[in-house]
Amino acid sequence: MKRTGVDLLVGLFVLLGFAALVFLAMRAGNMSSAVGLGPTYDTLARFDNIGGLKPRAAVRSAGVVVGRVAAIRFDDQSYQAEVVLALDQRYHFPKDSSAKILTSGLLGEQYIGLEPGGDEEMLAAGDRITMTQSAVVLENLVGQFLYGKAAEGAGKK
């Protein structure tokens, strides 16, 4: 009788510990969003500059998360960044959709904004999104602004 009492307590302890681990991973951590998107299909997109885009960043359309960035590679034939987007199979986008790298908030994380085009044919697994817009690089913006101001000043003279 005493043996089963000890076993019961130890079993409860182990179960509680595992429950705490699962709670931490799924509720407190991002395991459910990192793993549980459901079945996805991969599409490719090339960008001149991905800025601070990271794998597992969100792919949003109209603000709703429709997929995740699966992988980011460098293509040394075209010297561009190649991004693999894993899109949820529930959502289909026209073949001429465009992908832009946007920032959430002013200094937040970067994500890919997907805007649907007007084509009747939909993107399939392995297709390439041709219309892309790279991330805004702050230094280029500042440089443009400074040169613009300098050109304006020289033009006035």
Partner 1 sequence: MRTLLLPLQWLVGFVVAVGEGARFFVHLCWLSLAALRRPRLVIDQVHFIGNYSLSIILVSGLLIGFVLGLQGYYTLRRYGSEEALGVLVTLSLVRELGPVVTALLFAGRAGTSLTAEVGLMKAGEQIDAMEMMAVDPVSRVLAPRFAAAVFSMPLLAALFSALGVLGGYLVGVVMIGVDAGSFWGQMQSGVDWLDDVGNGVVKSVVFGFTVAYVALFVGFNAQPTPEGVARATTTTVVAASLAILGLDFIMTALMFSTD
Q: Which residues bind partner 1 (CB under 8 A)?
A: 3, 6-7, 9-10, 13-14, 16-18, 20-21, 23-34
Q: Which is nearer to partner 1, 12 or 141 (CB)?
A: 12
- Smallest gap from residue 34 Cβ to partner 1 (A): 7
- Smallest gap from residue 131 Cβ to partner 1 (A): 28
- Smallest gap from residue 52 Cβ to partner 1 (A): 13
Instruction: Please enumerate, as own/partner, the contacts of 147-155 that have beta carbons within 8 Å and a separation of 24 or more.
Output: none
**32 Cβ contact list (under 8 Å, min separation 6):** 26
Alpha helices in 24-44 (DSSP H): 31-35
Q: Which two tokens stand for residue 26?
A: 């799924």
Q: Using CA atoms, how far apart are residues 42 and 145, in angstroms rounded to an integer? A: 38
Q: Which is nearer to partner 1, 21 or 151 (CB)?
A: 21
Angle at 32 between CA 31 and CA 35, to 5 degrees: 75
Q: Which is nearer to partner 1, 3 or 156 (CB)?
A: 3
- Smallest gap from residue 157 Cβ to partner 1 (A): 45
132: β partners: 99
- Smallest gap from residue 91 Cβ to partner 1 (A): 21
Q: Which is nearer to partner 1, 27 or 156 (CB)?
A: 27
Cβ atoms < 10 Å from Cβ of 53: 21
Q: Which is nearer to partner 1, 106 or 154 (CB)?
A: 106
